[in-house]
């Protein structure tokens, strides 16, 4: 049963911002440009995508893409998501500006990832795919795709980064509830996994290895498909349901925000809320500042280079020009697992290179402090990732003009991240600064 009172708030279209700004993308998008040094390991398999999603990722002519009616009915089960004024939080921090937040944590997967998981499962099912394989880091994406596959009667296999698999057993448990097969990565069931296992005795794993395992596993059958949770244009597109919806909600109270703030992993929750508002700001001649927030430990926008790089360090995924710290960079083990990716999406990178939005980096302790403050005042425990955006909002609220308004995208809940908050309270957590030597070495590949 959907929320009948606000049925018309849920968008009928996605905002295809690629159509507005594709001219900003690098002209020469060929792989020859990358330094040979970047390819650390050649693997002769490539990810494949179904036609619908490939078309969505490359569509430069349709500014708006209709959400199929039967797919929209699945969105109606948990949308619209709340838009709230954070009055108690404003008071707590002595904000001069009004603070609003869009909350994407109130669904079974606990994050915005479900917005693309449902869309992808829908299109895979239509294309005759029977089995989805994916890699997940902290597990939010794995939970979302496991649930979505179950909804559409698709089989689902997830390779989850070993260290998170052991630290957060609730995540694989949730995936299994929805009948997914979950492997701790590196696993013994793929060639990549077996090689990594023999090399690495600690078995920490990484998203790059989990992704490589998923791609290898997916390429074994033509009814099996590899799916990805962020970064691709089609994923950013699906997430614009957030921004289109928030515009409908804000129009009801006659408000246009002066600041939009979201955390930045590969960029899908930032793009999801920002793209529709960037377009609306232009159409309505409004001034609005967009701020992407990253951890000091993985500062691809504030300290990275804009260069051709591969998307994982096994060299399987396609090359694109992006803000990157280099694929050899490994972020410190901060609790915001979703923000540890070394690069950013191609479209967002092009926008950032053209100064269409700002970026800042926040320390781990400051983010968790802000997250806890938000929980105490607003009654919602943000995901450690979302807490970065909240922390930046505190800073901005201090110098923003009186009467101005800030909109934060709270991308998920932190109910499976209590250890992070507890460690913060005990004072046994650090700021998560990067290993400077590793960062220098990784960036040197581009000099």
Ligand X SMILES: *Cc1c(COP(=O)(O)O)cnc(C)c1O
Name the residue nearer to ligand X (CB basis): 418 or 444: 418
Round to whole Å and give the CA distance between 405 and 260.
9
Round to whole Å and give the CA distance between 365 and 430.
7
The first and second tokens of residue 18, run together, are: 């690629």
Q: CA 188, 189, 194, 200: dihedral to nearest 10 degrees?
A: -50
CB of 115 to ligand X, least distance (A): 10
CB of 413 to ligand X, least distance (A): 8
Taken in order 12, 17, 20, 23, is the CA torsion positive or negative? negative
Name the residue nearer to ligand X (CB basis): 132 or 271: 271
Name the residue nearer to ligand X (CB basis): 309 or 385: 385
- Strand segments, DSSP code E, in 231-334 are 259-263, 289-295, 305-310, 319-324
CB of 105 to ligand X, least distance (A): 7
Name the residue nearer to ligand X (CB basis): 186 or 338: 338
Name the residue nearer to ligand X (CB basis): 264 or 380: 264
Interface residues with ligand X (CB under 6 A)?
111, 113, 140, 230, 263-270, 338-339, 383, 385-386, 411-412
Which residue pairs, CB below 8 angstroms and at least 24 apart, start in 396-401?
396/97, 396/259, 396/261, 396/291, 397/90, 397/93, 397/95, 397/96, 397/97, 397/99, 398/94, 398/95, 398/96, 399/96, 400/95, 400/96, 400/97, 400/258, 400/259, 401/96, 401/97, 401/258
Cβ within 8 Å of residue 104, ≥6 positions away: 81, 111, 112, 115, 242, 269, 409, 410, 411, 412
Q: What separation in angstroms does the CA of 244 have from each of 57, 135, 182, 360?
A: 19, 29, 34, 25
CB of 137 to ligand X, least distance (A): 8
CB of 116 to ligand X, least distance (A): 9
Name the residue nearer to ligand X (CB basis): 266 or 362: 266
Name the residue nearer to ligand X (CB basis): 56 or 98: 56
CB of 111 to ligand X, least distance (A): 4
| Backbone phi, psi, residue 354, to 5° | -100, 20
Cis preceding-peptide flag for 80 (omega within 30 of 0): yes
CB of 427 to ligand X, least distance (A): 25
- Strand segments, DSSP code E, in 167-214 are 181-185
The first and second tokens of residue 414, run together, are: 């932190």
201 burial type by CB count under 10 A (0-12 exposed, 13-18 middle, 19+ buried)? exposed
Q: Nearest Cα to 14, choosing from 255, 287, 279, 407?
A: 279
CB of 270 to ligand X, least distance (A): 6
CB of 83 to ligand X, least distance (A): 17
Q: Nearest Cα to 245, choosing from 134, 79, 373?
A: 79
Name the residue nearer to ligand X (CB basis): 106 or 127: 106
Tokens 């994406």, located at residue:
141
Name the residue nearer to ligand X (CB basis): 162 or 231: 231
CB of 91 to ligand X, least distance (A): 26
């Amino acid at each position: 049963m959907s929320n009948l009172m606000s049925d018309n708030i849920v968008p009928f279209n996605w905002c295809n911002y690629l159509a507005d700004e594709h001219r900003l993308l690098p002209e020469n998008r060929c792989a020859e440009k990358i330094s040979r040094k970047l390819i650390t390991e050649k693997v002769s398999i490539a990810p494949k995508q179904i036609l619908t999603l490939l078309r969505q990722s490359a569509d430069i002519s349709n500014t708006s893409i209709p959400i199929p009616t039967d797919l929209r009915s699945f969105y109606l089960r948990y949308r619209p998501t709340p838009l709230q004024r954070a009055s108690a939080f404003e008071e707590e921090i002595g904000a001069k500006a009004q603070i609003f937040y869009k909350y994407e944590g109130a669904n079974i997967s606990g994050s915005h990832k479900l917005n693309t998981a449902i869309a992808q499962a829908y299109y895979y099912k239509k294309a005759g795919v029977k089995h989805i394989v994916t890699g997940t880091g902290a597990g939010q994406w794995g939970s979302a795709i496991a649930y979505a596959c179950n909804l559409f009667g698709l089989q689902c296999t997830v390779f989850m980064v070993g260290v998170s698999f052991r630290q957060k057993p609730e995540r694989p448990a949730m995936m299994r509830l929805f009948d997914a097969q979950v492997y701790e990565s590196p696993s013994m069931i793929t060639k990549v996994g077996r090689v990594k296992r023999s090399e690495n005795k600690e078995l920490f794993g990484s998203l790059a290895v989990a992704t490589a395992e998923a791609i290898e596993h997916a390429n074994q059958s033509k009814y099996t498909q590899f799916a990805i949770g962020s970064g691709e244009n089609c994923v950013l597109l699906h997430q614009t349901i957030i921004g289109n919806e928030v515009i409908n909600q804000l129009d009801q109270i006659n408000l246009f925000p002066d600041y939009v703030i979201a955390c930045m992993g590969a960029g899908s929750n930032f793009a999801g809320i920002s793209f529709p508002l960037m377009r609306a700001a232009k159409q309505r001649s409004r001034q609005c500042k967009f701020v992407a927030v990253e951890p000091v430990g993985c500062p691809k926008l504030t300290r990275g280079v804009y260069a051709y790089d591969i998307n994982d360090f096994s060299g399987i995924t396609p090359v694109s020009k992006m803000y990157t710290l280099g694929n050899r960079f490994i972020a410190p083990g901060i609790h915001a697992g979703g923000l540890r990716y070394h690069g950013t999406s191609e479209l967002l990178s092009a926008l950032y290179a053209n100064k269409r939005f700002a970026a800042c980096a926040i320390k781990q302790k400051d983010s968790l402090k802000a997250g806890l403050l938000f929980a105490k005042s607003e009654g919602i425990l943000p995901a450690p990732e979302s807490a970065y955006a909240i922390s930046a909002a505190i800073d901005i609220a201090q110098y923003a003009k009186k009467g101005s308004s800030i909109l934060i995208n709270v991308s998920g809940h932190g109910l499976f991240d209590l250890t992070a908050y507890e460690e913060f309270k005990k004072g046994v957590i650090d700021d998560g600064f990067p290993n400077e030597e590793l960062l220098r070495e990784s960036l040197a590949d581009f000099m």
